[in-house]
């Protein structure tokens, strides 16, 4: 099912014509209304009238998260504050949060894009959708909520945490769609099983809408096996909009991007230059229809590949490969680039392990060291030392094959690593700490 056939199935030339019209309007607006952009344009000797083709987008400056933080809280708003009806913000764990705003028209657009995205995944008016994202400054909870309602689903605003109650609501309300982070979906299944509830047989969840953190195809398979559901991924970030930027259709062959509202580029993270079509690069987004908080060439640090071929579902919008890592997630261990997603792919595919793990990175003298802590499954080898020792050795060998890095491996008991209803933290890098 397609939510908006006229826009999701546009001919590429028509789509690019629409994008250019909207890009010109957005560039003029930010030049007139946002001091940061006017200053950056003037520094480059640019005027809005210099943008006459989509290729001219490359002339425009990048926007970074530092730019957004430096203008905290409302310095990048393009409308008077009295026109802003909603604000959201990032967590601010590394300093001041990034604050974004929405006009009434922005809210209408956002709701429509989320309705488009959840319909793409398979949500219908017959579904009971349980939102297990937090309701607060984070865009995920409210963003999904209003879009699901627009699509006609019955929404259960459970919010994050209180895991046993989440399971009770699934039982009592007949929840058919779960909205959460992928790691929390695994934790929910784990707690349900501890309570004697089989998610595959005793619950009605048929579809998962997951986002908020990178996850691998191996984790998708694990979730689908534990729940007997179709697990889909969706992508959004507060700086660009929130959920609704892109999402998977029933074929799960990439995220369809809402290209009538955003232009996406992929660049070389080191040089800032565009990569060739089909090559991996950092995603860069320019908003085309946002009023309160438009962004020009925002560098996401998310790594993906763009595909403009028409999908089997009939949509013509470009698709982005599911994000499994970020440029700032990459660890350099003794000169070797390591992504947590590579480690997750190894661990999830091995019998006897749970999908919960943690990476500790330290420095001994001048050498980096990485330790992988991973939980064993319930009753794995019944704690027999020799079997556990053999499993640790096997994990270490497989990690070296994939990473070309020697890692220490430590198996830990089930349920000992931290769980959270929000974004899971996998990597603890102590190298810059005194004594690390």
Domain containing 145 equals: 1-326
Rounded-to-integer distance, Cα 275 and Cα 281, Å: 6
Are 352 and 276 in the same domain?
no
68 within some domain: yes
- 435: pLDDT confidence band, cut at 50, 70 and 90? very low
Last-in-domain residue among 326, 346, 371 = 326
Are 166 and 312 in the same domain?
yes
How many structural domains are present in the chain?
A: 2
Are 216 and 174 in the same domain?
yes
Query: What is the pTM assigned to this prediction?
Result: 0.84
Q: What is the pLDDT of residues 196-255, one digit of tens each?
A: 999 999 999 999 999 988 888 999 999 999 999 999 999 999 999 999 999 999 999 999
Are 255 and 195 in the same domain?
yes
Are 150 and 264 in the same domain?
yes
Q: What is the pLDDT of residues 359-389, one digit of tens each?
A: 999 988 777 899 999 999 887 766 566 888 8
Last-in-domain residue among 297, 326, 355 = 326
Rounded-to-integer distance, Cα 128 and Cα 130, Å: 7
Last-in-domain residue among 299, 326, 353 = 326
Q: What is the pLDDT of residues 319-354, one digit of tens each?
A: 999 997 888 777 888 777 788 888 988 998 898 898
């Amino acid at each position: 099912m397609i939510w908006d056939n006229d826009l999701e199935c546009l001919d590429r030339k028509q789509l690019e014509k629409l994008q250019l019209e909207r890009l010109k309007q957005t560039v003029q607006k930010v030049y007139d209304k946002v001091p940061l952009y006017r200053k950056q344009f003037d520094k480059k000797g640019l005027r809005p009238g210099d943008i006459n083709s989509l290729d001219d987008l490359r002339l425009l400056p990048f926007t970074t998260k530092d730019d957004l933080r430096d203008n905290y809280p409302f310095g990048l708003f393009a409308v008077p504050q009295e026109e802003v009806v909603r604000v959201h913000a990032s967590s601010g764990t590394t300093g001041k949060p990034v604050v974004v705003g929405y006009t009434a028209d922005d809210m209408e657009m956002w709701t429509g894009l989320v309705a488009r995205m959840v319909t793409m995944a398979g949500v219908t008016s017959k579904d009971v959708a349980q939102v297990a994202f937090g309701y607060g400054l984070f865009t995920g909870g409210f963003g999904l909520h209003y879009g699901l309602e627009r699509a006609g689903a019955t929404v259960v605003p459970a919010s994050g945490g209180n895991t046993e109650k989440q399971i009770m609501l699934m039982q009592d309300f007949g929840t058919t769609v779960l909205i959460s982070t992928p790691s929390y979906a695994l934790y929910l299944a784990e707690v349900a099983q501890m309570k004697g509830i089989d998610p595959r047989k005793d619950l009605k969840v048929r579809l998962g809408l997951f986002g908020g953190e990178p996850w691998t195809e191996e984790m998708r398979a694990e979730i689908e096996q534990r729940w007997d559901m179709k697990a889909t991924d969706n992508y959004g970030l507060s700086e660009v909009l929130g959920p609704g930027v892109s999402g998977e259709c029933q074929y799960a062959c990439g995220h369809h991007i809402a290209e009538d509202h955003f232009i996406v580029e992929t660049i070389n993270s080191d040089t800032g230059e565009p990569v060739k079509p089909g090559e991996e690069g950092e995603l860069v987004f320019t908003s085309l229809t946002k009023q309160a908080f438009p962004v020009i060439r925002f560098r996401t640090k998310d790594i993906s590949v763009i595909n403009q071929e028409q999908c089997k579902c009939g949509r013509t919008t470009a698709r982005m490969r599911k994000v499994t890592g970020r440029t700032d997630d990459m660890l350099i261990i003794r000169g070797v680039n390591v992504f947590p997603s590579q480690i997750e792919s190894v661990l999830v595919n091995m019998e006897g392990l749970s999908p919960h793990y943690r990476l500790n990175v330290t420095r001994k003298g001048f050498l980096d060291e990485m330790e992988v802590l991973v939980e064993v499954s319930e009753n794995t080898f019944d704690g027999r030392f020799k079997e556990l020792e053999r499993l640790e050795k096997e994990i270490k060998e497989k990690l070296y094959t994939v990473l070309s890095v020697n890692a220490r491996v430590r198996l830990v008991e089930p349920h000992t690593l931290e769980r959270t209803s929000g974004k899971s933290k996998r990597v603890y890098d102590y190298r810059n700490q005194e004594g690390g």
